[in-house]
């Protein structure tokens, strides 16, 4: 009849299969095969140099394991019963590969050389068979490399072997109490195999070993570890075996250890199996239950939480968009108003400078000469003013676009419009009118000269007639010539002034025309720019809003959908969990550490 | 300018820069003071590993362990002070119970530190700091320039401690302050009579171990109890041991099988169990075995026995190691501590006008030749830099791995006259210059050769 723990174990394996945990399944199957094996594996573990190999030797009264002052044991050594002494090394057939699941080969070696050759590469373990009554019942002692050695490969192989153990002897020497590292090791061992006995070795060396043992007991009690503690001395035992001294044997503490091994390990193999299965199965079940329970409480709601938070996020972004679109509109209006007034001022400033230049020029120059040149100059200057001003407008407009974009709620590639330029710009203003220029012709000059000279001839003729000279004489004629010359000069001067005034007025008029026309153009362009920017950005904003609203709507739908799906999953999960917990309770009933596990 | 002069002037410069900060000034003052003191060596390790025993062995007088930091300094006459919290230290008496000296700290149970002034030859070159086992690496190394780390077999925890002791940029570039000690060497090999020689072999193996080597300058094995016994063996104890040795070997062996048997009821010679108990406590079962064996082998006077025990216990080797790695390198260890302290200060109180000092610090750490030498030693010993075998040995010697005196560097076993030394030096210089210029050699090889050349050049002025 199959023992009761087998059913439970098989069911647990089944649960592992359903929950798709092949790793746990493999572990449990290994344990199952091992438990069905009639052999009882007792693992001897401990930190390095605590006397593990010597303990095995002393237990068997035979130097099967190598002992030395430096790190000696490098691979696990399995010591079991055989009718004749024999030994073999097991090594990976392939040169590399992990300890598990690689084909291995056994090589028979002479028993006295086994431990020497065990240091060779790729050796996974050594197997030794000797005829001993203690091993008769299928007991296998496994000597392991020390834990916590600097060469981590040793530690790793020890932990790998730990999985196969039915019982564990934890070795710590009496030169010091259990260290924190050893307590950690003990706890780790307990997780894989609950049947632990602590062996305190080397009590022959330490006068105060009893205190150490007491302290160790207290330490174990404080850590809540129910493990037996046996002080022994391998040196005394080996010597007793050599001399046949019974008293010495008793002193060595080994009879108690052997009795303990036989009573607690060999005789109660079933209990050990139950306990071991309980521990392994409950650890596997805990691993199954934990994610399931998380799924029930946290995980499934976590999806809802995720969808709800998506919804909230979407709504938040819609609000944000609304709030910020007011901002970008304000920015656009303010900036454009500023822009237009700045640009207009700039234009006025530039035209005023041109006019001042014109005034200065025609204070001196005669418009009659080189008017064409002047006209050209004026046109050029006005054109330049217009272009500069307009370029500035464009620059500022782009800057405004960038600033608005910065105030826009999201960033996109096409945020800044490609062109804000209106198409119909810079139509030439009206032509400059040529001012009326009155030429001062020769007959006019003659007439004016005659008119001027008339007074002079008369004035001086009368005066000289008093002196008895005729009215027309040399003097009067000379004075007349002088007067005539002066009036010609005066007249031409006045004409020049008139011409200059006319030219200035013409220029003024032209510039005014230009200003009026161009400032209107500039204003129009400004408004045009403003309008196109506003259109551009509001289109973007609308698109964005639509996207956000859509995502908010879909999030809302998702939340609703989730609800039904979740309820269904919840029901299934609960059923599964209940099943696992029932199984766990049965495992617990096998005997093992009691851990609370509830739904 | 040598490293220690540079660092010394940096300390004073820092004092000037930070003169308005009382905390920084106090910190710098303490380091200026410390700069001229002997090397401070902290003795650390797990609990019950034998820290106090080792300190006692080094001093040559046995002190009872205390649960706080205990500093042993050289002093004209024995005195002890307890520093507890702020305020002035309290002077306490040093009593004596049996063979042990007790510092009567009485009510100051949780003292910050206890400072013992003690007349001893060892303490002329070093200050020893016995640390409590629960102290963190930072606490242990805060006040110490060097570290003696005690362990049994090297375990992961030990490596972790040593790694964190080096876990600082400056400490890493100059990991020159640790000697590892395989303590309780007598317990290795289950107390067999040849335990000490196998412990020495294990120490030798660890010296080559890739995990251990970069973390410490050397590994030595010491049997603490024996070492203390060697230094403090009393006449009555010696007589008792002689009586034991007079027994037949077989007969005694039976009673030395275990500690219980040795103090047991049936004992072949008339000797009080309390006497036997005391012997056991002082020397351990291994000690009794070894000493009786030695007496039988003819070391039958106390002087002979003491010499033999000092040598066998590994105390001699430990002392040599301390001399080569710590006392002889006092300047560089002090400079290292000061650089670490400056670094701490610059991190805690960064200042605009300390910029120059900070760059100086970086430059010194990166370029000091002494550090480079030690880094090369570490690189060569750990195998990070590989040289052909015969060159490697010579390079190690020339950069001072076996001692920094010219004789040790040049590899003279005897007192060679200056002319001879000069010739050897020039010969080495020319050869290593060729190595440094060898285009076929690897980059590491040439760099190592450059450092060796620089070391040789540094020796030149001593032989005009």
B:424-453 residues touching chain A, CB 8 A cutoff: none
Query: How many A/B residue pairs have CB atoms within 8 Å?
Result: 91
Tell me, what's the pLDDT at A199? Answer: 92
Spatial neighbors of B148 by CB under 8 A, at least 6 apart, are B41, B42, B43, B44, B54, B178, B179, B181, B322
* pLDDT over threshold 50, residue B448: yes
B48 and chain A: CB distance < 8 Å anywhere?
A: yes
The number of helices, as runs of H, and strands, as runs of E, in chain A is 15, 9
Whether residues B190 and A148 touch (CB distance < 8 A) is answered with: no
Chain centre distance of CA A380: 60
Whether residues A235 and B190 touch (CB distance < 8 A) is answered with: yes
* pLDDT over threshold 90, residue A87: no
Domain spans of chain A, in order of start: 37-267, 319-574
The single-letter DSSP state of residue B402 is: T
Whether residues A49 and B199 touch (CB distance < 8 A) is answered with: no
Spatial neighbors of A373 by CB under 8 A, at least 6 apart, are none
Tell me, what's the pLDDT at A95? Answer: 46
Whether residues B286 and A150 touch (CB distance < 8 A) is answered with: no
User: Which residues in chain B have their CB less than 8 angstroms from residue A251's CB?
Assistant: 258, 260-261
For residues B399 and B329, give the distance between their C-alpha atoms in angstroms, rounded to a whole number. 13
Residue, of A269 and B90, whose pLDDT is higher? B90
Which of B157, B191, B257 lies at the smallest CB-CB distance from A239?
Answer: B257
Give the pLDDT band of residue B126 (cuts 50, 70, 90). very high
The number of helices, as runs of H, and strands, as runs of E, in chain B is 21, 11
Whether residues A204 and B259 touch (CB distance < 8 A) is answered with: yes
B307 and B325 Cβ atoms separated by less than 8 Å: no
Whether residues A69 and B188 touch (CB distance < 8 A) is answered with: yes
Give the pLDDT band of residue A431 (cuts 50, 70, 90). low
* pLDDT over threshold 90, residue B42: yes
User: Which residues in chain A have their CB less than 8 angstroms from residue B286's CB?
Assistant: 205
SS (H, E, C) B268-331: CCCCCHHHHHHHHHHHHHHHHHHHHHHHHCCCCCHHHHHHHHHHHHCHHHHHHHHHHHHHCCHH
Tens of pLDDT, residues A277-290: 887 788 888 877 77
- State the DSSP H helix or E strand holding residue A500, giving kind and residue range, or none if neither: helix A474-589
Mean pLDDT rounded to a whole number for chain B: 84
Token representation of residue B457 = 């050049």
Which region among A10-14, B37-41, B185-189 has the lowest average model confidence (pLDDT)? B185-189
For an interface test with B, give the residue of A148, A201, A207, A219 to mutate (most B CBs within 10 A). A207
For residues B304 and B309, give the distance between their C-alpha atoms in angstroms, rounded to a whole number. 9
For residues A218 and A224, give the distance between their C-alpha atoms in angstroms, rounded to a whole number. 10
Q: Are strands A40-46 and A86-92 parallel, antiparallel or unpaired?
A: unpaired
Tell me, what's the pLDDT at B128? Answer: 93
Tens of pLDDT, residues B190-223: 666 778 888 888 888 888 777 777 788 788 899 8
Tell me, what's the pLDDT at A428? Answer: 52
B:343-372 residues touching chain A, CB 8 A cutoff: none
* Mean predicted confidence (pLDDT) in B302-322: 88
A140 and A80 Cβ atoms separated by less than 8 Å: yes
A443 and A423 Cβ atoms separated by less than 8 Å: no
* Backbone φ and ψ of A92, nearest 5°: -65, 130
Tens of pLDDT, residues B159-193: 888 888 777 766 666 667 888 998 888 877 666 67
Whether residues B257 and A235 touch (CB distance < 8 A) is answered with: yes
B210 and chain A: CB distance < 8 Å anywhere?
A: no
Whether residues B188 and A235 touch (CB distance < 8 A) is answered with: no
User: Bridge-partner residues for B83, per DSSP?
Assistant: B113
3-state secondary structure of B350: coil
Tens of pLDDT, residues A352-362: 988 898 888 88
Search chain A and give the residue with CA nearest B185. Answer: A69
Tell me, what's the pLDDT at A31? Answer: 79
Whether residues A248 and B257 touch (CB distance < 8 A) is answered with: yes
DSSP readout, A473-499? -HHHHHHHHHHHHHHHHHHHHHHHHHH
* pLDDT over threshold 80, residue B353: yes
Whether residues B156 and A150 touch (CB distance < 8 A) is answered with: yes
* Backbone φ and ψ of B269, nearest 5°: -110, 160
- Using a 10 angstrom Cβ sphere, with 0-12 exposed, 13-18 middle and 19 or more buried, the burial of residue B286 is buried
* pLDDT over threshold 60, residue B254: yes
Mean pLDDT rounded to a whole number for chain A: 79
Tell me, what's the pLDDT at A104? Answer: 59
Token representation of residue A442 = 């020769």
- Using a 10 angstrom Cβ sphere, with 0-12 exposed, 13-18 middle and 19 or more buried, the burial of residue A581 is middle
For an interface test with B, give the residue of A146, A150, A152 to mutate (most B CBs within 10 A). A150
Question: Which candidate, A167, A199, A170, places its Cα nearest to that of A183?
Answer: A170
Question: Which candidate, A493, A406, A497, A491, places its Cα nearest to that of A452?
Answer: A491
Token representation of residue B4 = 């220690």
Q: How far is CA B15 from CA A11, A226, B1, B264, B351, in A?
A: 76, 61, 20, 66, 13
Which of A175, A203, A236 lies at the smallest CB-CB distance from B184?
Answer: A175
Tens of pLDDT, residues B221-234: 998 888 888 888 88
B195 and chain A: CB distance < 8 Å anywhere?
A: yes
For residues B411 and B399, give the distance between their C-alpha atoms in angstroms, rounded to a whole number. 11
Tell me, what's the pLDDT at A275? Answer: 78
3-state secondary structure of B113: strand
- Using a 10 angstrom Cβ sphere, with 0-12 exposed, 13-18 middle and 19 or more buried, the burial of residue A385 is buried
User: Which residues in chain B have their CB less than 8 angstroms from residue A150's CB?
Assistant: 154-156, 159, 209, 211-212
3-state secondary structure of A592: coil
Tokens 């020893």 map to which residue?
A: B128
State the CATH class of domain A37-267.
Answer: alpha beta
Residue, of A516 and A36, whose pLDDT is higher? A516
Tokens 């972004």 map to which residue?
A: A317
CA distance A86 to chain B (A): 28
Chain A interface residues (partner B, CB cutoff 8 A): 47-49, 51, 54, 68-71, 146, 148-150, 173, 175-177, 179, 181, 202-207, 209, 233-236, 239, 248, 251
Token representation of residue B64 = 């009872």
For residues B321 and B207, give the distance between their C-alpha atoms in angstroms, rounded to a whole number. 13
* Mean predicted confidence (pLDDT) in B340-347: 88
* Backbone φ and ψ of B447, nearest 5°: -65, -45
* Mean predicted confidence (pLDDT) in B121-140: 87
Tell me, what's the pLDDT at B171? Answer: 67
Token representation of residue B111 = 């003292």
User: Which residues in chain A have their CB less than 8 angstroms from residue B210's CB?
Assistant: none
DSSP readout, A61-91? TS--S---SS----S-EEEEE-SS-EEEEEE
Spatial neighbors of A183 by CB under 8 A, at least 6 apart, are A219, A223
Search chain A and give the residue with CA nearest B182. Answer: A70
Question: Is this complex's ipTM strictly greater than 0.90?
Answer: no
* Mean predicted confidence (pLDDT) in B437-452: 84
For residues B410 and B419, give the distance between their C-alpha atoms in angstroms, rounded to a whole number. 13
Tens of pLDDT, residues A478-495: 888 898 888 889 988 888
Whether residues B257 and A236 touch (CB distance < 8 A) is answered with: yes
Strand ordering across the sheet containing A139-143: A104-109, A86-92, A123-130, A77-81, A139-143, A40-46, A167-173, A196-201, A228-231
Question: Which candidate, A176, A186, A174, places its Cα nearest to that of A235?
Answer: A174
Tell me, what's the pLDDT at B172? Answer: 64
- Structural domains in chain B plus CATH codes: 3-61+120-223+315-331 (3.40.50.300), 233-306 (no CATH), 385-462 (no CATH)
Quick count: other Cβ atoms within 10 Å of Cβ A304?
A: 15
Tens of pLDDT, residues A525-577: 888 888 888 888 888 888 877 887 887 788 777 777 777 777 787 788 888 88
Which of B184, B202, B209 lies at the smallest CB-CB distance from A150?
Answer: B209
B282 and B229 Cβ atoms separated by less than 8 Å: yes
Tell me, what's the pLDDT at A467? Answer: 82
| pLDDT above 90: percentage of residues in chain A | 2
| pLDDT above 70: percentage of residues in chain B | 96
B186 and B226 Cβ atoms separated by less than 8 Å: yes
Spatial neighbors of B398 by CB under 8 A, at least 6 apart, are B409, B410, B428, B432, B452, B455, B456
For residues B65 and A546, give the distance between their C-alpha atoms in angstroms, rounded to a whole number. 80
Residue, of A432 and A228, whose pLDDT is higher? A228
Tens of pLDDT, residues A452-480: 888 888 888 888 888 888 878 888 888 88
Cα angle: A294, vertex A295, A299; to 5 degrees? 95
For residues A293 and A577, give the distance between their C-alpha atoms in angstroms, rounded to a whole number. 7
Tell me, what's the pLDDT at A568? Answer: 81
Whether residues A204 and B198 touch (CB distance < 8 A) is answered with: no
B154 and chain A: CB distance < 8 Å anywhere?
A: yes
Spatial neighbors of A68 by CB under 8 A, at least 6 apart, are B189, B198
Residue ranges of alpha helices (H) inside B89-190 are 137-142, 156-165, 169-173
Tens of pLDDT, residues A399-418: 888 888 877 766 665 666 65
The single-letter DSSP state of residue A432 is: P
B257 and chain A: CB distance < 8 Å anywhere?
A: yes
For residues A435 and A264, give the distance between their C-alpha atoms in angstroms, rounded to a whole number. 132
Q: Are strands A77-81 and A40-46 parallel, antiparallel or unpaired?
A: unpaired
- State the DSSP H helix or E strand holding residue B115, giving kind and residue range, or none if neither: strand B113-118
Tell me, what's the pLDDT at A452? Answer: 83
Spatial neighbors of A568 by CB under 8 A, at least 6 apart, are none
Question: Which candidate, B264, B192, B286, places its Cα nearest to that of A238?
Answer: B192
Search chain A and give the residue with CA nearest B260. Answer: A207
Q: Is the dihedral of CA A527, A529, A530, A535 positive or negative?
A: positive
Residues A329-345 as b/e (b if ≥16 CB within 10 A, e otherwise) read bebbeebbeebbeebbe
Spatial neighbors of A42 by CB under 8 A, at least 6 apart, are A139, A140, A141, A142, A165, A166, A167, A168, A169, A261, A265
Tell me, what's the pLDDT at A20? Answer: 79
Which region among A86-100, A358-372, B122-136, B157-171 has the lowest average model confidence (pLDDT)? A86-100
- Model-level pTM? 0.65
């Amino acid at each position: 009849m199959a023992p009761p723990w087998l059913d439970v174990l098989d069911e647990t394996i089944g649960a592992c299969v359903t929950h798709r945990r092949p790793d746990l399944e493999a572990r449990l199957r290994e344990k199952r095969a091992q438990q069905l094996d009639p052999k009882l594996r007792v693992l001897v573990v401990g930190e390095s140099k605590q006397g593990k190999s010597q303990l095995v030797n002393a237990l068997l009264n035979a130097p099967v394991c190598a002992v030395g002052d430096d790190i000696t044991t490098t691979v696990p050594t399995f010591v079991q019963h055989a009718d004749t002494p024999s030994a073999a090394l097991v090594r990976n057939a392939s040169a590399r590969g992990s300890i598990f699941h690689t084909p291995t080969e056994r090589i028979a070696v002479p028993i006295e050389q086994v431990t020497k050759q065990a240091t060779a590469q790729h050796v996974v373990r050594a197997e030794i068979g000797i005829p001993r009554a203690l091993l008769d019942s299928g007991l296998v002692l496994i000597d392991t490399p020390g834990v916590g050695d600097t060469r981590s490969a040793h530690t790793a192989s020890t932990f790998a072997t730990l999985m196969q153990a039915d019982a564990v002897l934890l070795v710590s020497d009496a030169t010091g109490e259990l260290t924190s590292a050893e307590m950690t090791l003990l706890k780790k061992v307990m997780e894989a195999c609950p049947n632990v006995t602590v062996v305190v070795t080397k009590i022959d060396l330490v006068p105060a070993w009893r205190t150490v043992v007491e302290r160790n007991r207290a330490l174990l009690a404080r850590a809540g570890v129910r493990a037996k503690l046996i002080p022994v001395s391998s040196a005394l035992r080996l010597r007793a075996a050599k001399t046949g001294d019974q008293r010495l044997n008793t002193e060595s503490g080994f009879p108690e250890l052997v009795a303990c091994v036989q009573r607690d390990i060999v005789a109660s193999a079933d209990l050990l199996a139950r306990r071991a299965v309980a521990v392994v199965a409950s650890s596997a079940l805990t691993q199954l239950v934990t994610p399931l329970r998380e799924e029930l409480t946290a995980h499934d709601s976590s999806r809802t939480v995720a969808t709800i938070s998506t919804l909230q996020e979407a709504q938040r972004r819609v609000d944000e968009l609304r709030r910020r679109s007011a901002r970008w509109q304000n920015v656009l209006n303010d900036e454009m108003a500023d822009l237009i007034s700045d640009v207009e001022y700039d234009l006025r400033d530039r035209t005023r400078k041109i006019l001042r230049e014109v005034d200065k020029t025609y204070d001196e120059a005669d418009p009659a000469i080189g008017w064409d040149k002047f006209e050209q100059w004026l046109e050029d200057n006005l054109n330049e003013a217009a272009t500069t001003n307009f370029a500035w407008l464009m620059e500022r407009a782009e800057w405004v676009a960038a600033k608005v974009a910065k105030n826009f709620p999201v960033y996109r590639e096409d945020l800044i419009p490609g062109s804000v330029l209106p198409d119909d710009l810079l139509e030439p203003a009206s032509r400059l009118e040529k001012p009326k220029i009155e030429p001062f012709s020769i007959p006019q000059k003659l007439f004016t000269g005659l008119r001027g000279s008339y007074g002079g001839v008369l004035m001086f003729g009368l005066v000289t007639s008093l002196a008895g000279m005729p009215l027309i004489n040399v003097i009067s004629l000379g004075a007349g010539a002088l007067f005539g010359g002066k009036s010609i000069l005066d007249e031409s001067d006045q004409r020049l002034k008139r011409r200059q005034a006319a030219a200035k007025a013409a220029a003024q008029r032209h510039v005014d025309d230009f200003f009026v026309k161009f400032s209107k153009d500039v204003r129009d362009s400004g408004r045009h720019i403003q309008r196109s920017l506003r259109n551009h950005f509001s289109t973007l904003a609308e698109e964005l809003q639509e996207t956000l609203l859509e995502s908010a709507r879909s999030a809302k739908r998702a939340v609703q959908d989730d609800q039904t799906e979740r309820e269904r999953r919840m029901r299934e999960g609960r059923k599964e969990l209940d099943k696992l917990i029932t199984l766990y309770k049965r495992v617990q009933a096998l005997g093992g550490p009691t851990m609370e596990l509830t739904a | 300018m040598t490293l220690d002069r540079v660092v010394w002037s940096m300390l004073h410069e820092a004092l000037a820069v930070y003169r308005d900060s009382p905390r920084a000034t106090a910190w710098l003052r303490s380091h200026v003071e410390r700069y001229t003191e002997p090397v401070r060596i902290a003795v650390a390790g797990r609990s019950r590993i034998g820290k106090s025993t080792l300190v006692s062995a080094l001093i040559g007088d046995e002190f009872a362990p205390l649960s706080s930091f205990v500093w042993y300094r050289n002093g004209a006459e024995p005195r002890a002070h307890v520093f507890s919290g702020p305020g002035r230290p309290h002077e306490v008496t040093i009593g004596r119970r049996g063979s042990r000296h007790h510092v009567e700290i009485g009510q100051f149970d949780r003292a910050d530190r206890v400072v013992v002034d003690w007349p001893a030859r060892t303490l002329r070159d070093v200050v020893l700091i016995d640390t409590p086992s629960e102290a963190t690496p930072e606490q242990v190394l805060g006040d110490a320039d060097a570290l003696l780390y005690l362990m049994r077999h090297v375990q992961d925890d030990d490596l972790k401690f040593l790694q964190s002791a080096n876990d600082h940029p400056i400490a890493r570039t100059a990991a020159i302050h640790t000697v590892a000690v395989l303590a309780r060497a007598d317990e290795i090999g289950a107390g067999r009579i040849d335990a000490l020689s196998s412990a020495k072999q294990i120490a030798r193996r660890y010296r080559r171990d890739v995990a251990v080597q970069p973390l410490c300058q050397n590994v030595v094995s010491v049997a603490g109890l024996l070492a203390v016994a060697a230094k403090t063996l009393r006449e009555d104890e010696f007589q008792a041991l002689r009586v034991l040795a007079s027994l037949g070997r077989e007969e005694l062996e039976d009673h030395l099988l275990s500690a219980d048997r040795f103090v047991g009821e049936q004992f072949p010679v008339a000797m009080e169990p309390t006497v036997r108990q005391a012997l056991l406590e002082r020397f351990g079962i291994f000690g009794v075995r070894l000493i009786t064996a030695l007496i039988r082998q003819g070391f039958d006077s106390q002087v002979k026995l003491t010499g033999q025990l000092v040598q066998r216990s590994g105390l001699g080797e430990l002392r040599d190691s301390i001399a080569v790695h710590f006392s002889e390198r006092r300047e560089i260890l002090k400079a290292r501590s000061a650089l670490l302290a400056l670094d701490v200060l610059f991190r805690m109180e960064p200042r605009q006008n300390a910029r120059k000092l900070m760059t100086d610090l970086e430059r010194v750490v990166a370029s000091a030749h002494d550090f480079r030498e030690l880094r090369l030693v570490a690189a060569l010993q750990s195998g990070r830099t590989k040289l052909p075998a015969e060159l490697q040995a010579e390079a190690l010697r020339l950069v001072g791995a076996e001692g920094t005196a010219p004789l040790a560097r040049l590899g003279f076993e005897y007192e060679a006259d200056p002319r001879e030394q000069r010739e050897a030096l020039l010969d080495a210089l020319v050869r290593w210059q060729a190595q440094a210029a060898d285009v076929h050699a690897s980059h590491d090889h040439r760099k190592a050769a450059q450092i060796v050349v620089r070391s040789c050049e540094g020796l030149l002025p001593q032989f005009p």
